[in-house]
Amino acid sequence: MSADPVTPGGDTGITRDEVAHLARLSRLAVTDAELDVFAGQLEVILSAVSRVGEVAADDIPPTSHAVPLQNVFRPDELRPGLTQEQALACAPAAEDGRFRVPQILGEEA
């Protein structure tokens, strides 16, 4: 590719050879017809990127979101829940006030 493939407001100048080179690097098998199509598509993409670069100005602060975000979670409030006995009432197995489950790991070293 050329030293400056994207010139603001200008032609990107992507050639079929450059597209073929990118395809080889990406290990993509492309036909001659696809080279022409991809060259045109890459020119459109690089042109759009160059337009974004033109818009960026020093007086515009960088942002991570286009609109301000606010917390949409409800506040943490204590609510009544199950007692230990209620939680274990339908458990298939309980022991010492806890759910009993099959052991899946060996003994700790």
pLDDT at position 59: 76
Return the pLDDT at 27. Answer: 95
Closest C-alpha among 1, 13, 21 to residue 50:
13
Q: Are 19 and 39 in contact (CB under 8 A)?
A: yes
Per-residue pLDDT of the chain (109 residues; tens, 9 = 90+): 444 444 444 455 888 999 999 999 999 999 999 999 999 999 999 898 888 877 767 777 777 777 888 888 888 899 999 999 999 999 999 999 999 998 888 776 5
Q: Say how far apart CA 48 and CA 64 lie, in whole Å.
A: 20
Query: What pLDDT score was predicted for residue 9?
Result: 41
CATH 1.10.20, domain 16-55, yes or no: yes
What is the reported pLDDT for 109? 53
